[in-house]
Structure 1
């Protein structure tokens, strides 16, 4: 399975040089409804979810991917207004990353009794995030590399770098990328992005 990960220029170039991507924890994601996407008018439920989120964040890390690289909003939000990069990664096990389910309403609190409740909560987001077409890979933090308190997933046979896409407003060049890439990654395809002529999509620039 091939999935995509957006990065700004500064950290993107650092991560490519170090052959890795950053893993997040659930308490540092940009959606305040992470792990509390159920109806929480009951005070005891709110307290239980808060404690559960604390425990999950202390033990598990998350890698966030998209099924596509053509959405201009994602480039704006996660690649510094199209000045950064998007990388294509091939996951050896297609079942490693799970597809996010987008919902229009908060889940019912009675779902707490469902044995599948934790997984459902981990993979549910508000419908307005649907444009991201997100996939998530969740692992225990001990399975990630740690550098200055930050967790990273190295490129390896399980998660392999296969393409680098340069944003349509980026000053990054193929030449500058080749200078920082590890020898093992220098055969990776590098392309430039541009705004499409007939749709609101980001597409491959065929003349660069």
Structure 2
């Protein structure tokens, strides 16, 4: 609700992500591992991440990321070219020692491939990422970075968890003059499958 009122999203940083395998590489060479971990430290200071999912219907995501279905899901329109699709793999990415020593786009693309690859068991998230240059913006007083809603990160819908007590009026108050542009929906559990679906009976919300 605070993000809705302030019209921004908190930017995640590499060391704060919940998977410790983020930016790990497949090598037993101690020097190469040390070098890539130094790059990981640089990425933590320089690059932020906004994490999205392609849909909101998986009950595991509601359990993990929405306070056991008591939270809300925000739906955004984002240009396709702004998004990087996470790759799910059974193996770690092979590091390129040559690119580690170079500068330029090839080096960044290699780093982005590594940080965009996750263990295959994370695939239920259907994750898409937007990378943010932290060097262009000052953090707040607590050291956090935020990205404002914009034409490229445009809030279009809010799905309220089936255990949430939030009302339409509370959401409309938080949205202010965005209320007419954002659709509101209550979620419910599907009757015949492990799926979260829209509640079509408006009298129940």
TM-score, with structure 2 as normaliser: 0.88
Q: Which has the higher strand share?
A: 1
Give the Å deviation of 1:188: 1.0
Matched, 1:88 2:75: yes
Aligned to 1:128: 121
Q: Which runs of 5+ in 1 are unaligned?
A: 1-12
Could you tell me whether the CA contact under 8 Å between 1:99 and 1:135 is conserved in 2?
A: yes
Distance verdict in 2 for CA 1:185–1:142, change over 3 Å: farther
CA distance in 2, matches of 1:144, 1:64: 19
Q: Which has the higher helix share?
A: 2
Aligned to 2:90: 104
| Partner SS state of residue 63, structure 2 | helix
| Partner SS state of residue 163, structure 2 | coil
| Partner SS state of residue 95, structure 1 | helix
Aligned to 2:16: 28
Matched, 1:179 2:165: no
CA distance in 2, matches of 1:41, 1:84: 42
CA distance in 1, matches of 2:140, 2:112: 28
TM-score, with structure 1 as normaliser: 0.87
Could you tell me whether the CA contact under 8 Å between 2:58 and 2:196 is conserved in 1?
A: yes
Aligned to 1:113: 98
Could you tell me whether the CA contact under 8 Å between 1:144 and 1:153 is conserved in 2?
A: no
Q: CA RMSD in A?
A: 1.5
Query: For 1:69, which of 25, 32, 56 is the aligned residue?
Result: 56
Aligned to 1:158: 152
| Partner SS state of residue 43, structure 2 | helix
Give the Å deviation of 1:145: 6.4
CA distance in 1, matches of 2:177, 2:199: 25
Could you tell me whether the CA contact under 8 Å between 1:161 and 1:185 is conserved in 2?
A: no
Give the Å deviation of 1:52: 0.6
Distance verdict in 2 for CA 1:167–1:144, change over 3 Å: farther
Give the Å deviation of 1:186: 4.2
CA distance in 1, matches of 2:59, 2:35: 38
Distance verdict in 2 for CA 1:185–1:112, change over 3 Å: farther
Runs of 4+ in 1 over 3 A off after TM superposition: 111-116, 142-146
Flag the structure with larger Rg. Answer: 2
Q: Which runs of 5+ in 2 are unaligned?
A: 100-105
